[in-house]
Amino acid sequence: MSAVTLSNIEKKFGNFTAVHPMSLEIPEGEFVTLLGPSGCGKTTTLRMVAGLLDPTKGEISIKGRRVNDLPIHKRNLGIVFQNYALFPHKSIAENVGFGLRYRNVSKDDAARRVKDALELVQLPHVADRYPSALSGGQQQRIALARAIVIEPDVLLLDEPLSALDANLREDMRVELKRIQHRIGVTSIFVTHDQAEALAMSDQIVVMSDGRVEQVGPPEEVYNAPASEFVANFLGASNILSGQCTARENGTVAIDAPLFGTVPVPAEKAPNIPGPGAAKLVLRAEKLQLVAKNAPSDGLISTEAVVETVDYQGQAVRYFVRVGDTQLQAINMIDTRPFAEGDTVRVQFRPRDCAALPGA
Partner 1 sequence: MSIEAREARQPWILLSPSLAVITLLLIVPVLFIVVYSFWLRTSVGDVQPGFFLDNWQDALTDRFFRDILLNTLKIAAITTVVCALMGYPAAYFIARAKGNKALLLLLLMLPFWISYIIRTMSWIYILGTSGALNTAMEWLGIINEPIQMLYNETTVILGLVHFLLPFMVLNVYVSLEGVDTTLEDAAGSLGATKWQSFLQVTLPLSLPGLAAGGLLCFVLGAGTYITPAVLGGPRDAMFANLVFEAIITQLNWPMGAALSLLLLAVLGVLVMVYNHFLGLGQLMKGLG
Q: Which one, 16 or 102, has the nearer CB to partner 1? A: 102
Report how far residue 21's alpha carbon sits from residue 228's, in angstroms, rounded to the nearest whole number.
21
Tell me the one-letter amino acid at 249: N
Output the furthest CA–CA distance in the chain (Å, rounded): 76
Q: Which one, 147 or 284, has the nearer CB to partner 1? A: 147
- Asked if 320 and 305 touch (Cβ cutoff 8 Å), the reply is yes
Site for partner 1 in 138-177 (CB under 8 A): 146-147, 150, 156
Q: Applying CB under 8 A, does 131 fall inside the site for partner 1?
A: no
User: Nearest CA to 268 among 226, 303, 239?
Assistant: 226
Binding residues with partner 1: total (CB under 8 A): 28
Q: Applying CB under 8 A, does 36 fall inside the site for partner 1?
A: no
3-state secondary structure of 153: coil
Q: Which one, 98 or 319, has the nearer CB to partner 1? A: 98
Q: Applying CB under 8 A, does 85 fall inside the site for partner 1?
A: yes
User: Nearest CA to 94 among 48, 152, 145?
Assistant: 145
Q: Applying CB under 8 A, does 75 fall inside the site for partner 1?
A: yes
CA distances from 6 to 25, 62, 172, 173, 350 (A): 6, 9, 29, 26, 38
Q: Applying CB under 8 A, does 4 fall inside the site for partner 1?
A: no
Q: How far is the CB of 180 from partner 1 (least distance, A)?
A: 17
Q: Which one, 50 or 330, has the nearer CB to partner 1? A: 50
* CA neighbours closer than 13 Å in the CB half-sphere of residue 24: 32
Report how far residue 107's alpha carbon sits from residue 117's, in angstroms, rounded to the nearest whole number.
15
Q: How far is the CB of 11 from partner 1 (least distance, A)?
A: 17
- DSSP code for 53: S
Q: Applying CB under 8 A, does 99 fall inside the site for partner 1?
A: yes
Report how far residue 36's alpha carbon sits from residue 155's, in angstroms, rounded to the nearest whole number.
19
Q: Applying CB under 8 A, does 102 fall inside the site for partner 1?
A: yes
Q: Applying CB under 8 A, does 239 fall inside the site for partner 1?
A: no
Q: Applying CB under 8 A, does 52 fall inside the site for partner 1?
A: yes
Q: Applying CB under 8 A, does 8 fall inside the site for partner 1?
A: no
Of the candidate residues 54, 87, 136, 260, the single one contacting partner 1 (CB under 8 A): 87
Report how far residue 319's alpha carbon sits from residue 14's, in angstroms, rounded to the nearest whole number.
43
User: Nearest CA to 33 among 213, 218, 204?
Assistant: 204
* Burial (CB count within 10 angstroms: exposed 0-12, middle 13-18, buried 19+), residue 339: exposed
Q: Applying CB under 8 A, does 65 fall inside the site for partner 1?
A: no
Using the contact rule CB under 8 A, the part of the chain among 100-108, 183-191, 229-237, 310-318 near partner 1 is 100-108
Site for partner 1 in 303-342 (CB under 8 A): none
Q: Which one, 107 or 125, has the nearer CB to partner 1? A: 107
Q: Which one, 64 or 71, has the nearer CB to partner 1? A: 71
By CB under 8 A, name the binding residues for partner 1: 50-52, 71-79, 81, 83, 85-89, 98-99, 101-103, 146-147, 150, 156
